[in-house]
Amino acid sequence: MKKYVSVVFIVFLISNTANAQGLMGKSENDFTHQDTLRGSITKERVWWDVKQYHLDIKINPTDSTISGSNTIRYKILNSCNRMQIDLQEPLKINKVIQDGKELKYQRDGNVFYIDLVALQNPGEIKKLTVFYGGKPKIAVRPPWDGGITWSKDNNGKPFIASTCQGLGASVWWPNKDHMYDEVDDMIISVNVPNNLTNVSNGRLQSVIDMKDGTRTFNWYVSNPINNYGVNINIGDYVSFSEVYKGEKGNLDCIYYVLRDNLDKAKIHFQDVPRMLKAFEHWFGPYPFYEDSYKLVEAPYLGMEHQSSVTYGNGFKNGYRGTDLSGTGWGLKFDFIIIHESGHEWFANNITYKDIADMWIHEGFTNYSESLFVEYYYGKQAGAEYVRGLRKGIENDKPIIGYYDVNNEGSGDMYNKGGNMLHTLRQIVNDDQKWRTILRGLNSTFYHQTVTTKQIEDYLSKSVGLDLALFFDQYLRDIRIPTFEYKFNNNKLSYRWTNCVPGFNMPVKVTLNGKEQWLKPQVEWTILPQMSKNLKVGVDKDFYVELLKSM
Ligand SMILES: [Zn+2]
């Protein structure tokens, strides 16, 4: 059973008239022409549907270069003879070939416009090959400020990886770099020096000895994959594996770690089957059985690369050994294994179309951490964990960013997003139904790219309540809704303040320790039968504040 707050919170209601616009950070006018090219579905993008990429590249650790090609198969939706392909400075396209002919192109910063000569008939599938190369941007602070990391392991062997969420996959390979259009399947061929192994996404199909001191690793991803999920990891890897018997049958789990870390990993990665058991319970089957599940050591903290989750948390529990929730529960598991794998359901299965809606990835995945805790340590433990994360909420700007300019919203998409979902669960007030809703999300939007609107509509419908104002409050406004109450002539009055107009979330309160549901509005409601000595509390699982006014 839950516990309820029995004492009145001390709340300092800061006069806060800020709303969703004009907060600190970027304003609408701060975005550039390049941001629009990167972040919007331009007319040079919208007419074609990407079907398959074959990325075929050579990685040269001695001079930090990449060279090779991407063969793009696409379906023509509407006839057009100009195609936008993204590839970021300082990389260069060397040539583009279609039907054996070289095509002309113009560069505009990080965008190439390719002039197609052949007729582009709607319904047809065509392909072209983009050849490129150069020294890609070096990652500054991966995975947040990404690019390519060229590092060495403790034995002096190259240890190389790509990271590109937000920045975009075009930082290291040419593609249609917008999230709305996921490729249906993908071949990733990576040529590296003989003494190294490349691990990418999907299944390893073959390793070809090129007889020139290099080997080519051919990986095949049989499911749709988002661009930033595609990755290379190159190092002196050793591997081990196990078969997890899951909801959809046998799931191959394959682990790649640096040679020196094999023994540690064999013990520490036991969190993987634990994770799969908990998340399949809450969210439904792991979404990529065909492509296996892999955990791959990387020279940075970690990232949700699809079917090859990358790991750099030092074989320690917590987040780099610390508990972000401050409750102790965060030290019961390896944060990176749980969090990054949670993204297989929310980021890789259900993917945002526009990064402004990144809370769909991070809010749900943050919340998944508490569900993992709940699965193993009980409902109270999970609730304590998610509430503990509130200390990380800043309420600096709205969770949703600006659309069509490749802009993320506030970092509150993590902890506040998780607490918003935890609050919604209180409203649902039915654990079985809540689990059905979470599993239904993953089956309804299976392998799709989505908008916040779609998720909102799904949740409103399945909860059976119009949640539009609830989401406006938590996703588009920075204020914490406040349950305000007062006593007038021995009668209790209450209302929502510090909230969006019309906010009317039902809330569970305690009156002299007895729990009761109320439906406050922004106008005062009077409970006539109540006396003024009443002790009023709000269920602490709601992310709201409490204010007693005179
Ligand atoms: Zn995340």
How far apart, in Å, are the Cα atoms of 31 and each of 35, 45, 402, 407? 6, 20, 10, 9
Q: Residue 1: pLDDT above 70?
A: no
Q: Residue 37: pLDDT above 80?
A: yes
| pLDDT tens track for 309-364 | 999 999 999 999 999 999 999 999 999 999 999 999 999 999 999 999 999 999 99
Q: Residue 24: pLDDT above 90?
A: no
| pLDDT tens track for 472-529 | 999 999 999 999 999 988 889 999 999 999 999 999 999 999 999 999 999 999 987 7
Query: Structure pTM?
Result: 0.94
Give me ligand 1 centre to Cα 103, in Å.
40
| pLDDT tens track for 158-174 | 999 999 999 999 999 99
Beta-strand (E) ranges in 259-383?
293-297, 302-303, 309-311, 350-352
- Give pLDDT, residue 25: 58
Q: Residue 8: pLDDT above 50?
A: no
Give me ligand 1 centre to Cα 109, in Å.
29
- pLDDT-above-90 percentage for the chain: 92
Distance between CA atoms of residues 235 and 192, nearest Å: 10
Mean pLDDT of 91-120: 98
Beta-strand (E) ranges in 223-363?
233-235, 237-246, 249-258, 293-297, 302-303, 309-311, 350-352
Torsion of CA 436, 441, 445, 451, to 10 degrees: 160
Give me ligand 1 centre to Cα 252, in Å.
23
Give me ligand 1 centre to Cα 113, in Å.
33
Beta-strand (E) ranges in 164-202?
185-193, 197-199
Give me ligand 1 centre to Cα 364, in Å.
9
Give me ligand 1 centre to Cα 429, in Å.
27
Give me ligand 1 centre to Cα 143, in Å.
10
Give me ligand 1 centre to Cα 207, in Å.
32
Give me ligand 1 centre to Cα 302, in Å.
9
Q: Which amino acid is at 258?
A: L
Give me ligand 1 centre to Cα 462, in Å.
25
- Give pLDDT, residue 60: 98
Give me ligand 1 centre to Cα 506, in Å.
30
Give me ligand 1 centre to Cα 55, in Å.
26
Q: Residue 187: pLDDT above 60?
A: yes
Give me ligand 1 centre to Cα 46, in Å.
28
- Give pLDDT, residue 489: 83
Q: Return phi, psi of residue 73, to 5°.
A: -100, 135
Give me ligand 1 centre to Cα 343, in Å.
7
Q: Residue 271: pLDDT above 80?
A: yes
| pLDDT tens track for 399-410 | 999 999 999 999
Q: Residue 530: pLDDT above 80?
A: no
- Give pLDDT, residue 5: 33
Give me ligand 1 centre to Cα 397, in Å.
19
Nearest to 113 by CA among 75, 82, 88, 147: 82
According to DSSP, residue 322 is labeled B
Mean pLDDT of 65-84: 98
